[in-house]
Amino acid sequence: MECLFCDLVSKKKPSHIVYEDDSAVAMLDIFPRSQGHTIVVPKVHAETILDLPDDQVGPLFLAVKKMTQILKNKLNPDGFTIGINHGKVSGQAIDHLHIHIIPRFKGDNGGSIHTIVDNPSGMSLEEVEEKIIS
């Protein structure tokens, strides 16, 4: 299987790595939405968060936290948008889990996560709750 992010993690292909630990690599996104837009990639291949082994979830999110702190200290943004495009319909372009950390600056013309989708189900919250927990 050929995977671009596996090649970047193993350094078979060049990238702009800004953080690395035993479980994850953080690199600058090649199509940045803001200064410092970084992706954090697990070193193990997993297409989505559901495929990531349970023992790797905590270390991955610890790397996200550490990288967010580094970006805060070095770039002094006003905030962050942190998220995952999970599956093709959500915009996942590479079939390897990666978490975006997008530094946000006042006046950057970006929106909140609530601006990504506007497709309410028409079901009541009680109906949705029952569907999930039943």
CA 68 distance to own-chain centroid: 11
Q: What is the set of active-site residues?
A: 98
- What DSSP character marks residue 17? E
* Residue in the structure block whose two tokens are 């999930």: 132
Residue-wise burial string across 116-127, b where 16 or more C-beta atoms lie within 10 A, e elsewhere: eeeeeeeeeeee
Classify residue 87 as left (phi > 0), alpha (psi -120 to 50) or beta.
Answer: left
The Cα 134–Cα 132 span in angstroms is 6
